[in-house]
Amino acid sequence: MAGKRGGAMRPGRWPLPEPERFSHGLIIGKFAPFHRGHRFLIERALEQCERVSVWVYSRPDFAQMPSPLRRNWIREAFPARLFPGLQLLPDAPSAPLNSEPDATHRAYVRAVLEGWNIKPDAVFTSEAYGDALAAELDAVHVCVDAARAAVPISGTRLRAEVHAYRAFLDTHVYAHFVGRVAVLGAESTGKSTLTRALGESLGTSWVREYGRDVYERENGALTPEHFLEIALGHRALEDEAARAPGVHRWVFCDTHAATTLMWSYLLTGTALPELHALADACRTRYAHTLLCAPDLPHEQDGWRANTEVRTVQQGFIRQDLGTRGIGFTEVTGSVQARVTQVRALFANRELSQ
């Protein structure tokens, strides 16, 4: 038996009504950060509309996640090639403060949309203001999951405890809140072992030293171009680790581009300008830097130099950190002792907040 719309009917039940269709839907929000509830809202709008405009809107803006970043989060979740009906609107000038009355915001939205020649016939929200906003725009209000039953989260809760509620964020969004921790040290100072131990102890991702892969692949015959490849490859591994499903709060990184720059000069006598730029970026790329003390027995694996050279390397690394003005914490003793020191450091300085 078929219903009036051609859908199959189960005995004793009426067919569910099809959702109302619209030409142009509008969604306005802070998206700070963009979360699964926002995704659910946009998906619902795309199902019911021929096209959907999304306006990322807040004043003041969020310094740690400005509007271009938030738009990019949405763009990555809904790529244009797959969702051609989705339009991300630009920033508009002279927006009222978030604290100003709703009526002020409604009038502003109407004026801006008129200037952009955007005339939605439906406004999609999960908020109480939706009815009045839709009326202001002479549109229908479609309220989606106002009780937060489908996706029980809000931007306010996420901003307060982003790591606790990370399950409500897509991995590409959560990656923005993951801090990178650089683990540095000369050869045979235990940095690779410590990097992995910290990742396992804190239940998160870690990144191996990519330079070792290239060094062994080329049998030690490296050029300046190889060192740039190492730095770029290592950054790519860091970015991948920050998006890994199991990442939590931190990514521990064995070495970084400034140390790669040192090795380029030590082994080739020069370095490419692009590598210098990547090394300079280490000033701000890492939330914290750990320096492994050379107090472990030197282990020769067939690739390393001797203890005297290790001392020189350690001096170069210290000099580079000082020259760049990068603060660091030196860790000493056994692997477990170092893990304990780092865990205490994070707790005492509240780096995990």
pLDDT, mean of residues 326-333: 96
Other Cβ atoms closer than 10 A to 280: 14
- Tokens at 332, concatenated: 């000493």
Dihedral class, residue 151 (left if φ above 0, else alpha if ψ from -120 to 50, else beta): beta
Quote the percentage of the chain above a pLDDT of 90: 85
pLDDT score for 6 = 37
Tens digit of each residue's pLDDT (9 = 90 or more) over 9-49: 444 455 656 778 999 999 999 999 999 999 999 999 999 99
- How far apart CA 62 and CA 32 sit, in angstroms, is 8
Strands 49-56 and 86-88: parallel
Amino acid at 7: G
- How far apart CA 30 and CA 62 sit, in angstroms, is 9
Residue 332, exposed/middle/buried by CB under 10 A (0-12, 13-18, 19+)?
Answer: middle
pLDDT score for 298 = 56
pLDDT score for 7 = 40
- How far apart CA 94 and CA 287 sit, in angstroms, is 34
- How far apart CA 335 and CA 339 sit, in angstroms, is 6
Place 281 in a pLDDT band, splitting at 50, 70 and 90.
very high
- How far apart CA 33 and CA 65 sit, in angstroms, is 8
Bridge partners of 292, per DSSP, are 331
Total residues found in the chain within this entry: 353
Q: Is 76 helix (H, G, I), strand (E, B) or coil?
A: helix
- How far apart CA 185 and CA 304 sit, in angstroms, is 13
User: Does residue 139 register a pLDDT over 60?
Assistant: yes
- How far apart CA 175 and CA 324 sit, in angstroms, is 26
Place 307 in a pLDDT band, splitting at 50, 70 and 90.
low
Which domains does the chain carry?
A: 22-168 (3.40.50.620), 178-349 (3.40.50.300)
User: Does residue 86 register a pLDDT over 60?
Assistant: yes
Other Cβ atoms closer than 10 A to 316: 15
pLDDT score for 267 = 92
Residue 60, exposed/middle/buried by CB under 10 A (0-12, 13-18, 19+)?
Answer: exposed
pLDDT, mean of residues 304-309: 63
pLDDT score for 221 = 95
Quote the percentage of the chain above a pLDDT of 70: 91
Tens digit of each residue's pLDDT (9 = 90 or more) over 172-219: 999 999 999 999 999 889 999 999 999 999 999 999 999 989 999 999
Model pTM?
Answer: 0.88
Give 293's contacts (C-beta < 8 A, 6+ positions apart).
185, 189, 330, 331, 332
More confident residue, 223 or 295: 223
Q: Is 101 helix (H, G, I), strand (E, B) or coil?
A: coil
Q: Following DSSP, what letter does each residue of 295-350 receive, concatenated? A: -SPP---SS---HHHHHHHHHHHHHHHHHHT---EEE-SSHHHHHHHHHHHHHHHT
- How far apart CA 189 and CA 29 sit, in angstroms, is 49
pLDDT score for 297 = 72
Tens digit of each residue's pLDDT (9 = 90 or more) over 91-137: 999 999 999 999 999 999 999 999 999 999 999 999 989 999 999 99
